[in-house]
Amino acid sequence: MIGWITGKTMRIEVGLVVLGSLLPDLVKLQMIIPLLEVNYQNFLNPLHTPAIALLIGGIISMFFEDSKKAFLAIGIGITTHFILDFFFIGATKGIQFLYPLSWQYWRFNFILGDLRITLIAVIAALCVYLYYFYNDTRKIRNRQKV
């Protein structure tokens, strides 16, 4: 939701910002892989690092006509993801900002990650949606009057 709110308020491609905000969570594939009985930790854990997430975002952006704009939108989404992970208490062990130079985790532990935060994000997303919906409806009415 934060990716969607960011994309709407910055007036950039919302879908790519949301994609970028979800990219670091490719590490969640490890929930499926135990069924395959494969050692996956060393392969999937780096996916939740800024370096690898931006690398994957760069590869994805190459498939778009304007790859610079696509990478900017995806990069903004990735950044919002890591900023939130950095501040949430207990969401992760932290962020490996210096990967591959260091495997050390960093976090600030400022925001308690619970249902209240999700509720606030939903309310904020609803407010942003209603704001843009109202403005778009008003613009359409003004065009029809002319």
* Residue 90 CB burial class (10 angstroms; 0-12, 13-18, ≥19): exposed
pLDDT at 91 over 60: no
Query: Residue 99: which pLDDT band, with cuts at 50, 70 and 90?
Result: confident
- The two tokens of residue 135 are 């403005």
Q: Return the residue matching tokens 């009985």.
A: 37
CB atoms within 10 A of CB 73: 27
Close Cβ partners of 144 (under 8 Å, ≥ 6 residues apart)? none
pLDDT digits (tens, 9 = 90+) for 17-33: 999 998 888 777 766 66
Q: Which residues of 38-68 are buried (b: 16+ CB within 10 A; e: fewer)?
A: eeeeeeeebbbbbebbbebbeebbeeeeeee
CB atoms within 10 A of CB 4: 19
pTM of the model: 0.69
Query: Residue 118: which pLDDT band, with cuts at 50, 70 and 90?
Result: low
24 preceded by a cis bond (ω within 30 of 0): no
Q: Distance between CA 128 and CA 7 in Å, rounded?
A: 11
